[in-house]
Structure 1
Amino acid sequence: MYFAQSTIDEFYVELADTTAKRIAVLEALLSQSYQVPRAQEFAAHGVSRRLRTMELCLKNVFAILPPEVEDEPSMNELVDAVIQIQAFIFNAFACVDNIAWIWVCEQKLTTDKGEAIAATHIGLSKNCRIIRRSLPTEFREHLVSLNPWFAQLEDFRHALAHCIPLYIPPSAVLIKDAAKYELLEKKIAKALRRGRRDKAEQLAAEQPVVCGSPTR
């Protein structure tokens, strides 16, 4: 088993709590009396929809790749799980932004010059200084403690949007075999450029990979 049974049990306890936590957040948001229609919209149609999507993404990942199962997942299963993870990351990032927008709208926040705050500067991370310094002290201090989390979330989101998308490797390569693997990768690319798909497949079969996703 890849995870200790106690860890698996903890996973499922936390997963079971997601619905109650989502509902608690929504009740807190939707019970507010908003003065600005746009703030109400971000609460009812932004945060609300995103949290539901995120909850379903989590449950789908557990359904596709149960942590207690040791069988090697198929490529389709890995891709299905990746779709859920990518959707979760995007919505987690945007959900935080939606909450920040609610605050900006309701507080009618502006820059020091009285101008509208640029959309790229509206959020709750440490780079969104105008929003952070406008928040109650206790909440601001809590956000400071989450700075590493914000940084990691932004890295994941930016990589997903602009660089290499998040994925689950179908296999792994031992460090001692890394040089051989890279050499074969170059040979495979060369064979494909020459239209030698049969040769590329033969070389791929020689790659020193450890089967099974390292995440399982």
Structure 2
Amino acid sequence: MGYSEEQIAQFQEEYAKVSQGLQDLMLKTIVAGQESEHAGVKEHLLHGAARRLSTLKRCLENIFVNFPPTTVKPLQRDVLYDVQINLHAYVMNLYGIFDNWAWSFILRHDLLQKVGGKHGVGLFRESTTKHLAKPIHDYLVSDTITNWHEKYLKSYRDALAHRIPLYIPPAEFTKEESERYGQLEGEKINLIKGMEWQRLDELYKEQENIGRPSFVFLHSYEEEPPKPVLFHPQLLCDGLAIVEFGTLFVEHWGEAA
């Protein structure tokens, strides 16, 4: 099912907001890193957080160019693979940037021993959060952010890193379309065995024009049915969360409880 005109207009507005927000936050992060005299803090802000922010921004741009919400036909295979590659980079950097922020805070305030060493460093670990300034602490322990991190970000990052990579179904079909797609799929083996490459290409092209694009992504079935996530709104929500928290962090990371 495609998006409504109202949804598409909203996505475009939020996309511009997220893209600009990531750019502004990257510049603030660079300034904070340059102003620090601690080598470790510099590394985590300049080569960690700032680099991840620029990667997040570019991934979002690539995705919206190659797979705009206005798409009406299934993506070609190579385009779909490129979109998935950008999705993978997006999710990994979403997850990783919180570690860069955590380390920059811990190192700035010389708290490594107090949190129990490197394994106690983490913005979602109580050993670290108890030292954060109240605005940062309250944001991180809110139900909204806790649920987002535990039920979505950590789950999908762990699947990507350790189990089944995130993927976007190539298309959505009606019953008739599904049957025709399967019929063509069954013909491919004989064409490959007979080395009938021209006919094989024709089958691939016909398949690419069957159905509608799928606007969800998911990872594995594991022990329960998969939980598809709406693609564009989720990525925009993720980006807004990073901009919102990152701005709060840069404003208050000089304070410690």
Q: TM-score, normalised by structure 1?
A: 0.76
For 1:129 and 1:173, the matched residues in 2 are separated by 47
* Structural mapping, 1:41-190, within 5 Å: 41-112=43-114, 115-118=116-119, 121-125=120-124, 128-145=125-142, 146-151=145-150, 152-172=152-172
Q: Deviations over 1:137-158 (max 9, x none)?
A: 2221111121011111111111
For 2:155 and 2:19, the matched residues in 1 are separated by 27
Aligned to 1:10: 10
Residue 173 of structure 1, CA deviation: 7.2
Instruction: Give 2:85's aligned amino acid.
Output: I
For 2:26 and 2:52, the matched residues in 1 are separated by 11
Residue 94 of structure 1, CA deviation: 0.8
Secondary structure, aligned partner of 2:118: coil
- Decide whether aligned partners of structure 1 residues 162 and 174 sit closer, same or farther in structure 2, where only a CA change above 3 A counts: farther
For 1:30 and 1:171, the matched residues in 2 are separated by 41
Q: Deviations over 1:34-84 (max 9, x none)?
A: 242110111111111111111110111111111112122212221111000
For 1:16 and 1:94, the matched residues in 2 are separated by 23
Aligned to 2:28: 28
Moved more, 34-43 or 55-64: 34-43
Aligned to 1:198: 190
Tell me which of the two structures has the higher relative contact order, counting C-alpha pairs closer than 8 angstroms and 6 or more residues apart.
2
- Decide whether aligned partners of structure 1 residues 164 and 200 sit closer, same or farther in structure 2, where only a CA change above 3 A counts: farther
Q: Are the counterparts in 2 of residues 39 and 101 from structure 1 also a CA contact under 8 Å?
A: yes
Instruction: Give 1:76's aligned amino acid.
Output: D
Instruction: Give 1:109's aligned amino acid.
Output: L
Q: Deviations over 1:77-115 (max 9, x none)?
A: 211110000010011111111111101111111355x75
Residue 200 of structure 1, CA deviation: 11
Identity, in percent, stands at 26
Q: Are the counterparts in 1 of residues 74 and 171 from structure 2 also a CA contact under 8 Å?
A: no
Q: Are the counterparts in 1 of residues 123 and 129 from structure 2 also a CA contact under 8 Å?
A: yes
Instruction: Give 1:198's aligned amino acid.
Output: N
Instruction: Give 1:41's aligned amino acid.
Output: E
For 2:109 and 2:130, the matched residues in 1 are separated by 13
Residue 213 of structure 1, CA deviation: 3.4
For 1:135 and 1:8, the matched residues in 2 are separated by 38
* Structure 1 unaligned spans of 5+: 189-195, 202-209
Q: Are the counterparts in 2 of residues 168 and 213 from structure 1 also a CA contact under 8 Å?
A: no
Residue 132 of structure 1, CA deviation: 0.7
Q: Are the counterparts in 2 of residues 50 and 91 from structure 1 also a CA contact under 8 Å?
A: yes
- Decide whether aligned partners of structure 1 residues 73 and 23 sit closer, same or farther in structure 2, where only a CA change above 3 A counts: closer
- Decide whether aligned partners of structure 1 residues 74 and 23 sit closer, same or farther in structure 2, where only a CA change above 3 A counts: closer
Q: Are the counterparts in 2 of residues 109 and 117 from structure 1 also a CA contact under 8 Å?
A: no
Q: TM-score, normalised by structure 2?
A: 0.65
- Decide whether aligned partners of structure 1 residues 61 and 43 sit closer, same or farther in structure 2, where only a CA change above 3 A counts: same
For 1:70 and 1:174, the matched residues in 2 are separated by 15
